[in-house]
């Protein structure tokens, strides 16, 4: 971990802050969905650490599913919004209360695509729970029902979020030193 930490310019959200906020989100979800069906759909890979802590903070019965999306043609630090489903859900969501669990909403394009796609499958309800929100970068309006933290317009890593597949295991959210991604990125297809 120490090796990776040297690439971090500053810590934005500590492990304790993450833990406290996720406990609050778990309580809010447990209250809002009490007595109802609940299916959490985690967007891989970035949302996986958030999901694993969030479900332990939810005290009502619920199910989980995973979906993997890749973003094509952007840079390594910016999504293009041209997205593709790499791995789809295993179950039918028609008539279910679906909660999308996402790591970060930046321009909103990725989430807008996922919402549009899942809506066609006729869930009873479709809500969004995003750990991080970068509102200053929004290009497409998306309604976030549950938000962990708002973050400034900086590229963040840790707690599931990567740069070039690295740094997901950091137990805090930090800003990557700009020199770590200063090298011009090639066009690539990358998992979110």
Known catalytic membership, residue 106: yes
Q: For residue 15, what are its two tokens? A: 């492990």
Task: Give least dist CB 178 to ligand 5GP, A.
Answer: 12
Q: Which of 106, 133, 162, 171 is catalytic?
A: 106
CB nearer to ligand 5GP: give 38 or 103.
103
Contact 76, 162 (CB under 8 A): no
Q: For residue 107, what are its two tokens? A: 């321009």
CB nearer to ligand 5GP: give 77 or 93.
77
Give the separation between CA 43 and CA 57, rounded to whole angstroms: 18
CB nearer to ligand 5GP: give 28 or 82.
82
Q: For residue 128, what are its two tokens? A: 């969004």
CA geometry: angle 139, 144, 150, nearest 5 deg:
75
Instruction: State whether the Cα torsion 3-154-73-98 is positive or negative.
Output: positive
Task: Give least dist CB 190 to ligand 5GP, A.
Answer: 8
Task: Give least dist CB 20 to ligand 5GP, A.
Answer: 22
**Binding footprint of ligand 5GP on the chain (CB under 6 A):** 46, 79, 81, 103-111, 155-157, 161-163, 192
Looking at the annotation, which residues are catalytic?
106
């Amino acid at each position: 971990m120490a090796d990776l930490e040297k690439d971090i310019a500053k810590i934005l959200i500590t492990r304790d802050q993450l833990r406290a906020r996720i406990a609050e989100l778990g309580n809010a979800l447990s209250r809002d969905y009490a007595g109802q069906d609940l299916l959490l759909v985690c967007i891989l890979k970035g949302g996986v650490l958030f999901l694993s802590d969030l479900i332990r903070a939810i005290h009502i019965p619920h199910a989980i599913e995973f979906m993997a999306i890749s973003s094509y043609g952007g840079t390594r630090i910016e999504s293009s919004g041209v997205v593709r489903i790499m791995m789809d859900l295993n179950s039918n969501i028609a008539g279910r209360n679906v909660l999308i669990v996402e790591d970060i909403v930046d321009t909103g394009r990725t989430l807008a695509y996922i919402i549009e796609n899942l809506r066609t499958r006729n869930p009873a309800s479709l809500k969004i729970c995003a750990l991080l929100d970068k509102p200053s970068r929004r290009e497409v309006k998306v309604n976030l029902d549950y938000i962990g933290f708002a973050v400034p317009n900086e590229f963040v890593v840790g707690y599931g979020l990567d740069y070039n597949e690295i740094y997901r295991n950091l137990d805090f959210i930090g800003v990557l030193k700009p020199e770590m991604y200063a090298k011009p990125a090639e066009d690539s297809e990358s998992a979110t």
